[in-house]
Structure 1
Amino acid sequence: MVKNIQYLSQKYGGISRFYILSQRYFLISDVKFIEAIMSSTEFLSKGKSYDFLHPWLGQGLLTSTGRRWKNHRKFLTPAFHFNILQNFLPVFVKSGKILTEKLRSYAAQGEPVDLFPIIALTALDNVTESIMGVSVGAQNDSESQYVKAIKDLTNVLAYRMRNAFASSDPIFNLMSMKRVQDRALKVLHDQSIKVIEARRRQLDNMENSSPISEYGIKNKHAFLDLLLLAEIDGEKIDNVSVREEVDTFMFEGHDTTTSGIVFSLFCIANNKEVQEKILQEQISVLGNDMSNDPTYSDIQQMKYLECVIKESLRLYPSVPFIERQISQDTGNTSSF
């Protein structure tokens, strides 16, 4: 599917039209055409592909639109301030050490290996602990119910997005994949609700012992706590809405990170000069003993590595395309 989209973009330029069954699509890759849509605060309705995510993510930030999207986007922003994110560095370091040992064992075998599922487990460990404050130990227990449910559900979603017939709900509901999806959803939703209810009880008991700073909550559960303490129109957010946002960032956080890391490693592996420059920068920052845990300050000094990662993301974006449903004229036809 991605290759076909790339082909259409290259053959017909910045904009082309095609049909999938009765659905009409416009493929836009020229920035002057995209600007009228992406710079607007009105065209927020997501495309049909996002509908497949609703059973899992409900009306989370990725799938919602309109006033709900704006409200949730506003109160979620503080959770991603760097002052909070740097507190999760020990989580990332811990997961990184497990990954390093796994990669050493694969390297010792001298055989080709698919990095995507390996990195995906690492990203899953990072995102579950940093968002929910719970360690699922995905790297050491890849057959756990939770890990398997994530894998099964993402496979179903990917298939439905690629297959025009499976995208139809009446047809999909008759397929065995529907039962796979239902089982996976129960595991994931039950786990999220369990964590949310436990944390809400803790916050109720703590009362004012965990103060809010200008950047969010002063503890390792910043994201979840922000959701549990947030209010819209004077009312706290219910558990289902909290679960939808938690599940959304669980999905977005581990899948996109995995893609970005794997393609960065692919680019680095194909360029020995870049490998050497990265190594020398690591030595200059961490010293000859690179088994030492990096500090947040150390990471800020890795400017060349940052450039490499950004260039890799430019070449291989984690999300290669997005979809919007346009129900009215943009009112800006000058660029067309």
Structure 2
Amino acid sequence: MNPAIHFQHVSKTYRGARGTFQALTDVSFDIQPGEFFGLLGPNGAGKTTLISILAGLARATEGRVTVMGHDVVADYAAARKSLGIVPQELVFDPFFSVRESLRIQSGYFGVKGNDAWIDELLAGLGLADKAGANMRQLSGGMKRRVLVAQALVHRPPVIVLDEPTAGVDVELRQTLWSFIARLNKEGHTVLLTTHYLEEAEALCGRIAMLKQGRVVALERTSALLAGTASTMLRFKTDDALPAELAAQARVTGRIAQIKAHDAAEVESVLARLRAAGVRVEDLEIGRADLEDVFLDIMQGRSTSVVSTESAAAVEVA
């Protein structure tokens, strides 16, 4: 069986008046049919470039990309039809209603008699009462829902969500993930990029992390989490942490988080806080999350976790 998405030694170099920029370097991994896969990385890591190559909006300098076995360059029509992409940007036609936009998108892919599925999309994404509204009349969150519906209107086997919940409300997030999770259970492959790492942790079975255009981690989400410290101290304080703890803490406003590998280390951290006169509120002891793993890998505090099985699969493809 062909992988749903296949990246083989993909590199991308941009050339301009100011010189060259290497956006991607030898990126190789497969996403299997039915996977819910996360692609993570800081701004500028190459995520959007990789998706642009996948979508046919950019061409790789080196390497090969396929979607459901179709080469995105040599067999671009079949590859495009196999993909449904929700972009980061809010792009819409201001001259049509929501339903008209979905019918036009269906026609673009040659899908006729699609009203029943369009009705299901409208209901599933909370757009039923906006079906006759002009796109210009919708809020940003509603426009985002329409983009999702447009990506799904031709029933693609592979769905790409590029920062789908950026700047949207909680209701839309819940509606979107409920609908996408249903499609994934029905067999659709989902590729997600997001800066909300709690979403990736909850939804994605496997994750690749990009840094400066290279894959620095590729593994099951559970294995990534197992590779970090299992205990995290979280507490609130208005006081400055002692220097030795501040160097290893993640501080967001009044909330500080410090890793501890075992009970003895927990006791040591608490003792140092008491000795420094740091007043602690709402102390919690929990497990490290994907954000901790992500920061460790991006800041070079963790050994890269690259799946040898995936690498081998790419080599023989």
TM-score, length-normalised on structure 1?
A: 0.28
Greater strand fraction, Structure 1 or Structure 2: 2
Higher relative contact order (CA 8 A, sep 6+): 1
